[in-house]
């Protein structure tokens, strides 16, 4: 299904299961999917709705990172006990049930997270019963929006006219930080939308509706570049880190660090100002021949 913006451009809404980087069987070989999973891990660990203990947070990080790095073949009760729960080398998971008990608690924490903050997350991370290797799945409740879908020319630049924008993650550990990150994400999309030559992809949480079947417009769209980042909101200042990666080889292309003081400035104004600066500095980085 398509929708029209006020300026006449068409927006295409489609289920996230139909996006181009839908993972192959060995999804750890897909750099875009790996970045989505890594970003989702950060979102989970920073969410106030993820009510896991500190050691279960280490548990989740260990099994996700080990799976992305090595396919999960080395994740066993023994290795988890040694690496996460500081057991001695004579640890016997058949005698000491700590890993099984904590895995059950971790599963329940993840289930609660995906019923609340994570309902519209692009990726679901779960730990199936009977083992400790995590499962990564595209979330069927998430949607993808492709903005300004129109033919694009060939380019040799790392910053092509098609870009995937990941939601910036709050690492502040506060509700205010989460709200600031959400506002910044919206401002980034608004700023990118001012540049009609760009095709911007993102993963907002959209209301469920009819199935969207008009996928032909996306056949020739490739999001070679992935923009992501984080925000740290303190009582008197905010720091935003943005980075651009070429997802074909996971190579870092560009980054920026932006600091602002909070005195006498509203969060909404700061979000707008920082979003504008990120987009301006990023587009200024593009070779002149590839700007229009």
The domains located in the chain, with CATH, are: 2-20+144-290 (3.40.50), 49-116 (no CATH)
Work out the end-to-end distance of the chain between its first and last CA atoms, rounded to an integer number of angstroms. 28
DSSP 185-197: HHHHHHHHHT-TT
Q: How many CB atoms lie within 10 A of CB 8?
A: 6
- Look up the pTM and report it: 0.47
167 DSSP assignment: P
> How long, in residues, is the chain?
292
258-273 pLDDT, tens digit each = 999 988 888 989 999 9
169-206 pLDDT tens trace: 888 888 888 899 888 988 888 888 787 777 677 654 43
Strand 199-202 with 162-165, pairing: parallel
Q: How far apart are CA 255 and CA 156, in angstroms?
A: 19
């Amino acid at each position: 299904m398509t929708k029209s913006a006020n300026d006449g451009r068409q927006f295409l809404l489609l289920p996230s299961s139909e996006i181009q980087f839908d993972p192959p069987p060995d999804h750890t070989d897909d750099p875009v999917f790996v970045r989505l999973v890594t970003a989702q891990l950060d979102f989970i660990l920073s969410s106030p709705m993820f009510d896991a203990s500190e050691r279960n947070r280490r548990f989740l990080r260990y099994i996700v990172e080990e799976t992305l790095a090595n396919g999960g073949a080395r994740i066993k009760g023994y290795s988890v006990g040694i690496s996460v729960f500081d057991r001695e080398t004579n640890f016997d998971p058949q005698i000491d049930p700590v890993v099984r008990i904590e895995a059950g608690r971790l599963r329940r924490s993840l289930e609660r997270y995906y019923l609340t903050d994570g309902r519209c997350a692009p990726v679901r991370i779960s730990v199936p019963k009977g083992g400790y290797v995590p499962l990564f799945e595209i979330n069927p409740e998430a949607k993808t929006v492709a903005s300004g879908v129109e033919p694009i020319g060939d380019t040799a630049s790392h910053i092509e006219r098609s870009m995937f924008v990941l939601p910036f993650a709050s690492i502040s550990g506060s509700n205010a930080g989460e709200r600031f990150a959400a506002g910044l994400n919206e401002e980034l999309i608004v700023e990118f939308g001012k540049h009609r030559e760009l095709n911007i992809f993102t993963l907002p949480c959209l209301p469920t509706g009819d199935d969207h079947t008009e996928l032909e417009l996306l056949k020739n769209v490739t999001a070679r570049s992935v923009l992501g980042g984080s925000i740290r909101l303190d009582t008197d200042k905010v720091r935003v880190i943005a980075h651009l990666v070429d997802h074909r080889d996971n190579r870092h292309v560009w980054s920026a660090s932006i600091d602002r003081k909070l005195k006498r400035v509203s969060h909404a104004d700061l979000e707008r100002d920082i979003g504008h600066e990120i987009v301006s500095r990023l587009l200024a980085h593009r070779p002149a021949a590839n700007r229009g």
